[in-house]
Structure 1
């Protein structure tokens, strides 16, 4: 009968052998990715613009296959995140991806950018959503990441409004579970807190918890949760921030309380914006802007073709048209790709019934 140490030694030898195999295969995959880049560059001509190395539909398909074939004991999403980082590192060998996000450093938007592109992407913080759009439009970066809606607080209207004037396309989406923490400077007394900083949406998402734990504390809305964490790092005793783990790490803060959001399923959806259209991945969404005359049944005329074709609408929002009193445009998300034949017919019919139809993009549904 082998002793405990002998059994552990055998298992550790097996792990070492497996690690060597994994290492060889990762490098083999990286070499293959470099060959892909060489093929694209060889066949690329100047009139085609910059060569495209990042293909969102292809990456979504790979990650779905990872999840589908996973047999455990690791969860499919865990394994997919490992592959996400491998793919990010391989893509960086072809061409590093520059991504603008709504900053500063430590925001949930940065976390969404890293979740989607991996840690080998070059992420650049922008002070406003407008700046993210401008940076991508100027091609100073390849892609941008902006928040679009929260499961408890609704849509981010400023993001929707930017799409009206922008020629950028949506190339992906990220769904991020939002966990809020009460952050303080190391050594702070939680009983002495008199001010709490956070973004107004985060304050709203923690309203019940705050009413229960700090009913008399001054709540101060700032531009972002990361800005809240920065202020706490620079101020003295008696202040706290509501922010996420990245902000805590970025500004050296301690966790006073964890997961203080009122709804445990609190999730924010982010959009990836860029210049290129995205091919079919088989599990796609499409986003459009549609406008109609201010008359009875106007919205019904836009939505009825989707119902008749059996197309699943996942989101409908209205915003002022800004080109006349009480006029509105509708932001609509639905399941499917604009190149799918049934959707082509629906969009053709909607275009005939609308005074405005703008296709913002078709893109893979969030995978991880």
Structure 2
């Protein structure tokens, strides 16, 4: 019986052999890649890989090791493909589409669209990002905003995409995938609700409060102290402030932002009445031209994959293999295709970084579909 030290020495010896054999195999795969580059053959040969897995599985003597060997050789071949994609990019056979690199967004000479009404959080995000004097207009829906950008009626649209407490804005994700508009920037707005009313309003005499359903939910602790108030839901918080102004009734109040109080000339009766202090909404800025700021540090993509074991892992592995940090993944069902999904991915990087292009090349070659949503 060998002692632990002797066993480990034998393992170390085997590992050295494995490394040598792996490097020898990868060199041969490099020769395969050069052949494919010259002949135009695709890197991924599904039939060849399937036959290889079946062949090595038959070599296994202990049945308990079959699954592990299958997994091992799947990873070896995946690493071979990633190396071949890198060579394809390095030999200028890139799949990169043309784009315009700009130094910065011209925030003064542009027209911006947002969904909602003045005082809404999209309005606040727009003003904080572009400035209070930016030429802007509002539309009823997020789709209308995307249409305005698509048709050139606006240079940019401001859209909410996720919230720290409510999660993703699913409809916006779907629209970004549907339209050929591109994310060029993002901005964050901390949600801070206030109680608004007409000048001279006495809180003790209030009977009715207006807000969006989420506004009520986010201010439950404050509202629990005023259980006699009738809560009436509105389409958005800013619309609630507008309704108080229009009704001109000092017994009616609204839960909305302090900016809404400024827009509708209301008094702030109580500040920061939301339960949580870390409630923040992330907004994206989209445009209809394929342009990115030169110092962009985040990539957003969406891809579709076959509903088969390991396919999502294999696609995400291209990001890991190239040393990129993925910071978000979101899945959305594909309309008309039950139990099939699109995956929205955010990861760190710039489109001019070879590691980014290597990852995108690998995903594009192996996914059913991929779309670059933006670099910002």
TM-score if structure 1 supplies the norm length?
0.70
Structure 1 residue 306 and structure 2 residue 319: aligned? yes
Is the alpha carbon distance of 1:189 and 1:147 closer, same or farther for their aligned partners in structure 2, counting shifts above 3 Å?
same
Q: Which residue of 2 aligns with 1:205?
A: 218
Is the alpha carbon distance of 1:296 and 1:203 closer, same or farther for their aligned partners in structure 2, counting shifts above 3 Å?
farther
Once the two structures are TM-superposed, the CA of residue 218 in structure 1 deviates from its matched residue by 3.3
Match of 2:364 among 323, 348, 351: 351
Which of 1 and 2 has greater Rg?
2
4+ runs of 1 displaced by more than 4 Å? Answer: none
Structure 2 Cα separation of the partners of residues 140 and 266 of structure 1: 32
Matched pairs, number: 277
The 5-angstrom pairing of residues 8-19 of structure 1 reads none
Asked whether the 8 Å contact 2:318–2:359 carries over to 1, the reply is yes
Once the two structures are TM-superposed, the CA of residue 320 in structure 1 deviates from its matched residue by 1.0
Q: Which residue of 2 aligns with 1:110?
A: 123
Q: Which residue of 2 aligns with 1:59?
A: 104
SS in 2 for 1:209: helix
Q: Which residue of 2 aligns with 1:68?
A: none
Is the alpha carbon distance of 1:161 and 1:221 closer, same or farther for their aligned partners in structure 2, counting shifts above 3 Å?
farther
Q: Deviations over 1:108-153 (max 9, x none)?
A: 1111111111233201111111111111111111111111111111
Structure 2 Cα separation of the partners of residues 148 and 337 of structure 1: 21
Structure 2 Cα separation of the partners of residues 147 and 222 of structure 1: 18
Is the alpha carbon distance of 1:208 and 1:350 closer, same or farther for their aligned partners in structure 2, counting shifts above 3 Å?
farther
Match of 1:247 among 253, 256, 260: 260
The 5-angstrom pairing of residues 155-166 of structure 1 reads 155-166=168-179
Is the alpha carbon distance of 1:356 and 1:194 closer, same or farther for their aligned partners in structure 2, counting shifts above 3 Å?
farther
Structure 1 Cα separation of the partners of residues 196 and 261 of structure 2: 7
Structure 1 Cα separation of the partners of residues 310 and 288 of structure 2: 35
Asked whether the 8 Å contact 1:193–1:238 carries over to 2, the reply is yes
Is the alpha carbon distance of 1:290 and 1:207 closer, same or farther for their aligned partners in structure 2, counting shifts above 3 Å?
farther
Structure 1 Cα separation of the partners of residues 204 and 310 of structure 2: 56
Is the alpha carbon distance of 1:324 and 1:112 closer, same or farther for their aligned partners in structure 2, counting shifts above 3 Å?
same
> Which runs of no fewer than 5 residues in structure 2 stay unpaired?
1-99
Structure 2 Cα separation of the partners of residues 56 and 259 of structure 1: 41
Match of 1:230 among 234, 242, 257: 242
Once the two structures are TM-superposed, the CA of residue 283 in structure 1 deviates from its matched residue by 4.6
Q: Deviations over 1:7-35 (max 9, x none)?
A: xxxxxxxxxxxxxxxxxxxxxxxxxxxxx
Asked whether the 8 Å contact 1:153–1:204 carries over to 2, the reply is no
Is the alpha carbon distance of 1:243 and 1:139 closer, same or farther for their aligned partners in structure 2, counting shifts above 3 Å?
same
> Which runs of no fewer than 5 residues in structure 1 stay unpaired?
1-54, 61-86, 364-368
Asked whether the 8 Å contact 1:195–1:238 carries over to 2, the reply is yes
The 5-angstrom pairing of residues 144-163 of structure 1 reads 144-163=157-176
Once the two structures are TM-superposed, the CA of residue 202 in structure 1 deviates from its matched residue by 2.6
Match of 2:189 among 170, 176, 185: 176
Asked whether the 8 Å contact 1:102–1:146 carries over to 2, the reply is yes
Q: Deviations over 1:141-194 (max 9, x none)?
A: 111111111111111111111122201111111111221101112222212333
Q: Which residue of 2 aligns with 1:290?
A: 303
Once the two structures are TM-superposed, the CA of residue 201 in structure 1 deviates from its matched residue by 2.9
- What is the root-mean-square deviation of aligned Cα atoms in Å? 2.2
Q: Deviations over 1:75-130 (max 9, x none)?
A: xxxxxxxxxxxx85xx4xxxx31100112111111111111112332011111111
SS in 2 for 1:59: coil
Once the two structures are TM-superposed, the CA of residue 233 in structure 1 deviates from its matched residue by 1.2
Is the alpha carbon distance of 1:220 and 1:355 closer, same or farther for their aligned partners in structure 2, counting shifts above 3 Å?
farther
Asked whether the 8 Å contact 1:153–1:205 carries over to 2, the reply is no
Q: Which residue of 1 aligns with 2:153?
A: 140
